[in-house]
A = this chain, B = another copy of it.
Amino acid sequence: MKRTTIRPENVHQAALLRLLRDGGRSRAELGDVVDLSRSKLNVELDRLVELGLAEPDGLAASRGGRRSGRVRLSQATRFAGIDVGATSIDVAVTDGELKVLGHLSEPCDIRQGPAAVLDRAIDLLGKLHRDGLYDELTGAGIGVPGPVSFAEGVPVVPPIMPGWDRYPVRETIGQALCCPTMVDNDVNIMALGELHTGLARSVGDFLLVKIGTGIGCGIVVDGKIYRGVSGSAGDIGHIRVDDLGPVCSCGNSGCLEAYFGGAALAREAVEVARSGGSPYLAERLAVAGTLTAEDVGAAAAQGDAGAIGLIRDGGRRVGQVLASLVSFFNPGLVIIAGGVAKLGHVLLAEIRSVVYRRSLPLATGNLPIVLSELGETAGVIGATRLISDHVYSAN
């Protein structure tokens, strides 16, 4: 049952759809922001209604003359967003404006391989379908925790995803859901989520640093994801912070990820607990037999000096790398996100102190460095933004 998703016929229609994605508005308001004559604008809007992509939405309040007709995206529009993490999977269904209508999340080990994991994603979306959240999908976006060949829609030599190398993720999901599908890495879709509904809404050039099990960076240039020539841009976890540092899972030594990120933090927490540096962590370790980044956060919240020390050390390393990148890239905003970002303001304070001290004054003068406020929804919303950018473009 192959369906054809209806797409805009020209760049004007595409631009109008992307404007309407930010909210319905009157024809007069649209006329204020697009470079079209009133008659041409009305022709294109009428055509979008005919195509079923948009619909009339009553009359706007008068701006002094005849009341202008409001237009909005078709209320039948549905996008699916899938965010596959190292240890969890999130799916959501949104309307055309990317408002989340339903969101499901569950633990899921990426190492089960692509067939099992993508099946779970499709099952979860099937549940949202049975709940009546959608009939047909206009498009689906999916993020995975590793490098992706964006053009081909496949993961490429992803270090923490055994069995996924060059697996046809886009094709698998697209066929199962019968709609246009795009695949990107998890950090890029989080950055798109921030661009759409988060702190970056009005910022053209920004960085999103995700500190989860690993560490990655989403780069947005002029409102679009910058992926680099082979799609690996933003892969900062293996930037070396110290020649003599610990050995990393990648085989080199002194990588940022070998110092910080969920895996390194858990390992260091055990060391601190065993060496008597943290009574809180020692107690947790005795009870649970293991420690996680969350334990470090809980200990720090109790004022545990050992845990606070770990967070500060990690924040300093992230800050070192970020200071260089801020001098190089001169972004308008830096967002810190991901599981480890929940360590909160101790982490943020340390990162800020290093970046503000070490980067060029010209680059940091008006630079906010903030924690993400979107949480788990950044990835799924970003995934729908990714596919809607595609569907709402001409040809």
Residue ranges of A at the interface with B (Cβ–Cβ < 8 Å): 147, 156-157, 204-205, 217, 219, 221, 226-236, 238-240, 252, 320-321, 323-325, 327-332, 358, 360-363, 365-366
Assess the B330–A227 pair: CB atoms within 8 A.
yes
Inter-subunit contact B358/A328 (CB<8 Å): no
A227 to B204 CA separation, bound complex (whole angstroms): 12
Q: Report the bound CA distance from A239 to B239 in whole Å.
A: 14
Of all A-B residue pairs in the complex, the 8 with the closest CB atoms, nearest first, are: A228-B330, A233-B330, A229-B332, A232-B362, A239-B324, A232-B330, A232-B363, A235-B360
Q: Of the candidates B229, B330, B358, which one forms a contact with A230 in the assembled complex, judged by CB atoms under 8 Å apart?
A: B330
Interfacial chain B residues near A234, Cβ < 8 Å = 328, 330
Chain B hits for A240, CB < 8 A: 320, 323-324, 358
Q: Residues of B contacting A235 with CB < 8 Å?
A: 327-328, 330, 360, 362-363
Expressed in whole angstroms, the minimum distance between the Cβ of A320 and any Cβ of chain B is 8
A359 to B278, CA, bound (A): 36
Please tell me if the beta carbons of A366 and B327 are within 8 angstroms of each other in the complex: no
Residue in B closest to A254 when the chains form the complex, CB atoms: B358
Chain B residue nearest to A234 in the complex (CB): B328
On whether the beta carbons of A228 and B331 are closer than 8 Å, the reply is: yes
Instruction: Check B329–A233 contact: CB distance below 8 A.
Output: yes
Q: Report the Cα distance A329→B325, complex, angstroms.
A: 10
- Measured between C-beta atoms, what is the minimum distance from A220 to chain B in Å? 11
The reply to whether B362 and A217 contact each other, CB–CB distance below 8 Å, is no
Do B331 and A328 touch (CB < 8 A)? no
State whether A205 touches B232 (Cβ < 8 A).
no
Is the beta-carbon distance between B231 and A330 smaller than 8 angstroms?
Answer: yes
- Chain B residue nearest to A227 (CB atoms) is B330
Residues of B within 8 A of A329 (CB): 219, 228, 233, 328
Complex Cα distance, B234 from A366, in Å, reads 17
Contacts of A205 in B (CB 8 A): 228-229
Q: Chain B residues with Cβ under 8 A from A362's Cβ?
A: 147, 156-157, 230-232, 235
The smallest C-beta distance from A384 to any residue of chain B, in angstroms, reads 25
Query: How far is A236 from B360 in the complex, measured between Cα atoms in Å?
Result: 9
| Cβ-defined contact, B327 with A324, below 8 A | no
Cβ–Cβ < 8 Å partners of A221 in chain B? 221, 226
Tell me the complex Cα distance, A157–B234, Å. Answer: 30
- In the complex, what residues of B have CB within 8 A of residue A156's CB? 362
Partner of A363, one of B230, B361, B365: B230
Which residues does chain B contribute within 8 Å of A229, judged by CB atoms? Answer: 204-205, 330-332, 366
What residues of B have a CB within 8 angstroms of the CB of A231 in the complex?
A: 330, 362
Distance (Å) between the CB of A241 and the closest chain B CB? 9
Distance (Å) between the CB of A364 and the closest chain B CB?
A: 9
What separation, in Å, do the CA atoms of A321 and B324 have in the docked complex? 8
Complex Cα spacing A297 to B100, Å? 62
Q: Evaluate whether A327 and B238 lie within 8 angstroms (CB atoms) in the complex, with A221-B221, A230-B365, A252-B358 already known.
A: yes
Contacts of A325 in B (CB 8 A): 324, 328
> Which of B204, B227, B328 contacts A328 (CB under 8 A)?
B328
If A230-B365, A252-B358 are given as contacts, then 16 extra A-B residue pairs at C-beta distance below 8 Å, sorted by A number, are A147-B362, A157-B361, A157-B362, A204-B229, A205-B228, A219-B328, A221-B226, A227-B330, A228-B329, A228-B363, A229-B330, A229-B366, A230-B330, A231-B330, A235-B327, A240-B320
